[in-house]
Amino acid sequence: MDAGRRLYRMQLEMRLFEKRAYDLFLRGLVKGTSHLSIGQEAIAAGFGAAMRPDDWTFATYRGHAHTLARGVPMAAVMAELLGRVDGLMAGKGGSMHLTSVEHGVMGSYAIIGAHLPIALGAAWSAQYRDSGQVAVCFFGDGTTNIGAFHEALNLAAVWKLPVVFVCENNLYMEYTPIAEVTAVPRPAADRAAAYGLEPLTVDGNDADAVHEVAVTALARARAGEGPSLVEALTYRHGGHSRADPAAYRPAAEVEEWLARDPVPAYRARLLAAGVPEADLEEIEAGVRQAVDEATERAERSAVPGEDLLLTELWADGGVSWRN
C-alpha cells in the first residue's frame, strides 16, 4: 500500500506542478514556450518509482514530470521555468532543457530524437564500466519516424546495451495524428521485431501497469540481456504547447480520454483497495503546500545578471573573445 501512496503522490505532484506552471504563464512569469504533460503523469511516475538513484533519465522538451519523478526539488524546477537564478541551470535553460546530473536527469532535449543516441552512449558507458546502471530514454510517437530512433535501436540491440526506450504515444506528433503518417498501427511496438526486440505495450494511464513493465525492463537491462522498447499509450489533455488550443482533435476523442484521467483513476483504485480517504487527503494537502512553497521560492529568486548570462556559452566559458 505504501507503494501505491507513493505513486499517487508522484502523479499528483506532477499534475499540480504543471497546473501551477500554466497559471504562472498566464501571469507572464514563464518566459518562452513550454510543453505540459498533463494527462501523461502515470508514465513518468511508474518508471521513476522503479529506477535506481544512479540510473539515467533522458527526456524530451515535455520533461517536467520526468524531472520531478527523479526527486529533483520542485522549487529548483519552478525557478528554472521562471528564468531565475535558483533554477536548475540558473534560469538559463528554461522549460525545454531541464537537467540535474545529481538526480540522474541527463537533460531534456528540444530536437526530436536527438537524445536517443546520447542515451545509447550512456548505456555503453554503463556496460563498459559494469556499473549496473540503466539509461531510460523517453520520447514521443513522432520520434519513431526519425532516423535516430532506428539507428539507436539497432545498435543497442547489436551491442545488448542496458537502455530502455519508452515511447509515450499520445496519438499526435505535434498537430498531426501519428496514424496518418505511419505504416503500422503501433509506431514503436510494431517495429520492435525488426531489431529482435519484444513488442511491449502498456496502458500509459495506469501507473501500476507502467511500473510493472518498468521493473521487468530495468531488471532485464541490468542482467545484460539488452535493451527494451516500450510503447505506452496515453493522451495529453492540452495542446502540443501552451500556444496550441488543440482544436484539431475530435471532441468525442478528448472526452473519452479525459474520462481515463490517470490521477483520479489512481485515487479511486487506492480507495477501492482500502486506503482511508483521510490518508489521501493528507497527501493532497501536502502536495498543494509543496507547490505553493516552490512557487513562492521561485518568485522570490532573482533574475540572472550578466555575471551568469554571459558564461558557459563558448569553449572559454564566456563571450569576451567575440567582442
- Smallest CA-to-CA distance from 170 within 231, 232, 234 is with 234
CA-CA distances (angstroms) from residue 144 to 210, 263, 271? 20, 27, 38
Q: Is 242 helix (H, G, I), strand (E, B) or coil?
A: coil
Taking only the tens place, the pLDDT of each residue in 217-270 is 999 999 999 999 999 999 999 999 878 888 999 999 999 999 999 999 999 999
Helices 2-26 & 74-81 angle (0-180, nearest 10): 20
Question: Which amino acid belongs to residue 118?
Answer: I
Buried/exposed 79-94: b ≥16 CB within 10 Å, e otherwise: bbbbbbbbbbbbbbbb
Q: Describe the strand order of the beta sheet including 163-169 as a list of residue ranges.
A: 105-109, 56-60, 135-140, 163-169, 228-233, 200-203
246: region left, alpha or beta (phi > 0 left; psi from -120 to 50 alpha): left
The pTM of this model reads: 0.95
**For the chain, which residues make up each domain, given as ranges?**
1-51+60-107+131-142+163-171+183-188+202-211+257-296
pLDDT digits (tens, 9 = 90+) for 80-104: 999 999 999 999 999 999 999 999 9
CA distance 71 to 77: 11
Render each residue's pLDDT in the chain as its tens digit; 323 residues. Answer: 599 999 999 999 999 999 999 999 989 999 888 899 999 999 999 999 999 999 999 999 999 999 999 999 999 999 999 999 999 999 999 999 999 999 999 999 999 999 999 999 999 999 999 999 999 999 999 999 999 999 999 999 999 999 999 999 999 999 999 999 999 999 999 999 999 999 999 999 999 999 999 999 999 999 999 999 999 999 999 999 878 888 999 999 999 999 999 999 999 999 999 999 999 999 999 999 999 999 999 999 999 998 888 888 776 666 665 55
Architecture of domain 1-51+60-107+131-142+163-171+183-188+202-211+257-296: 3-Layer(aba) Sandwich (3.40)
Rg of the chain, C-alpha, whole Å: 20
CA distance readout (Å), 68 to 2, 17, 54, 138, 259: 19, 9, 15, 14, 25
Q: Which class for 29: exposed (0-12), middle (13-18), buried (19 or more C-beta within 10 A)?
A: middle
SS3 labels along 144-198: HHCHHHHHHHHHHHHHCCCEEEEEEECCEECCEEHHHCCCCCCCCHHHHHHHCCC
DSSP3 helix / strand / coil % (the chain, rounded to 5): 50, 10, 35
The letter for the amino acid at 159 is W
